[in-house]
Amino acid sequence: MAQCDWREKRRQVMSQARRVVIKVGSAVLAGPDGVDSLVIASLARQIAELVASGREVLLVSSGAVAAGRAVLAGRYDPSFLPHRQAASAIGQSRIMHAYDQEFSRHGRIAAQVLLTRDDLDNRERYLNLRNTLSTLFALGAVPVINENDSVAISELVYGDNDCLAGLLVGTVGADLFVNLTSARGVFAENPDENPTAKPMECIDNIADLDLDAMCGAKTTLGTGGMYSKLLSARRVAQLGVPTLILAGREDGALTQAFGDQGVGTFIVSGCKPITRRKFWLAYHHEPQGTLTVDDGAVRALKDKGKSLLPAGIVDVAGEFPVGSMVRVAAVSGEVVALGLCNYASGDLRKIMGLKSTRIAQVLGEAAYEEAVHRDNLLLDPAI
């Protein structure tokens, strides 16, 4: 995108965004005694200003483990998962207390919501959550969301709050995602190795970036690092939502960014947004298996927008029932799509490589012609 185009786009987005998800990481919030109260005070003040200007803000805040481990001090062992979960339980109430006090100074109510992956991949809970969040917005409250670390075990976890916040952009239909980090934005080169490196002002081709090559290191606090921030930005770009990655420890950075000053890195959204349903299908469910498909099938999916037929499948990995979320991979191993599979893994192994007209002969009935229907398929997934 030409320089003037993205600047104009950014100006429009910042002035017109009405519903914003803001995520703040542990590395921004942590201070020597747990959580830095000055950072919380500054965030609450700036967010209260945004709400007063007619915007609805959902805050995804980490920092529970960092706050709790400061309380536990010498008794805390970071390599022991139950200690991290306990530290989160201890720290979460302290963080919320701090937000509550600071928001109320500006006449705003903070509302805590703790979530696990289970909550968003269950359609009923997902809808309940959406209702609660829209009621909170209507009441002028600021939802403050964190992962429910104390009950989160491997199959329940998002892994990091960047992922959770990105999914919530879809849940609440936000029109902007702001990710507050300990860095001043996204750097093309490592600023520790090259002190003159400057953050990139704009990324207009997030789908084409090689994230593995760009992001070697992770920050020590928090679990995400820049990789997971860019991955989430890529996901929300598919929904048509831009991301701003901004320095969270700089007092006033949010106000400046909404006041049309070009700080941070602006990540332009995709021009052909996917539906919220496809976003929910693809990113709220853990894939249960992988269908490897031949080159002809890859072309049919990618270039012609077709459904995946059993004929194009050369291998089925994993055991899964009908209706499971699966990866669709090329023979090279590259994942080209995520989709809902019409057949269980056992049946699919019997009909893979066969023309659809033979499905009934082999299985007794042909419930579907397609293995994965294109309406249930997300191409180029950010995973």
Question: Least separation, in Å, of the C-beta of 161 and ligand GLU?
Answer: 4
Quick one: 66 or 351, whose CB is closer to ligand GLU?
Answer: 66
Instruction: Establish if 265 lies at the interface with ligand GLU (CB under 6 A).
Output: no
Instruction: Establish if 63 lies at the interface with ligand GLU (CB under 6 A).
Output: yes
Quick one: 157 or 268, whose CB is closer to ligand GLU?
Answer: 157
| From candidates 56, 121, 160, 347, binder to ligand GLU by CB under 6 A | 160
CB 146 within 8 A of CB 114: yes
Instruction: Establish if 88 lies at the interface with ligand GLU (CB under 6 A).
Output: yes
By rule CB under 6 A, what string of x and - marks binding of each residue 110-149 to ligand GLU? ------------------------------------xx-x
Which region, judged by CB under 6 A, interacts with ligand GLU, from 130-138, 217-225, 267-275, 359-367?
A: 217-225
- The angle that helices 225-238 and 276-284 make with each other, rounded to 10 degrees, is 150
Q: Which helix (H) or strand (E) holds 146?
A: strand 142-147
CA distance 344 to 349: 9
CA distance 369 to 359: 8
Instruction: Establish if 225 lies at the interface with ligand GLU (CB under 6 A).
Output: no
How many residues of this chain bind ligand GLU (CB under 6 A)?
Answer: 16
CA distance 119 to 286: 13
Which region, judged by CB under 6 A, interacts with ligand GLU, from 30-38, 64-72, 310-318, 334-342?
A: 64-72
CB 163 within 8 A of CB 232: yes
Distance of CA 110 to CAs 98, 212, 269, Å?
A: 10, 37, 29
Nearest Cα neighbor of 168 from 67, 61, 325 is 61
Instruction: Establish if 26 lies at the interface with ligand GLU (CB under 6 A).
Output: yes
Which residues of this chain interact with ligand GLU, rule CB under 6 A?
25-26, 62-66, 88, 146-147, 149, 160-161, 222-224
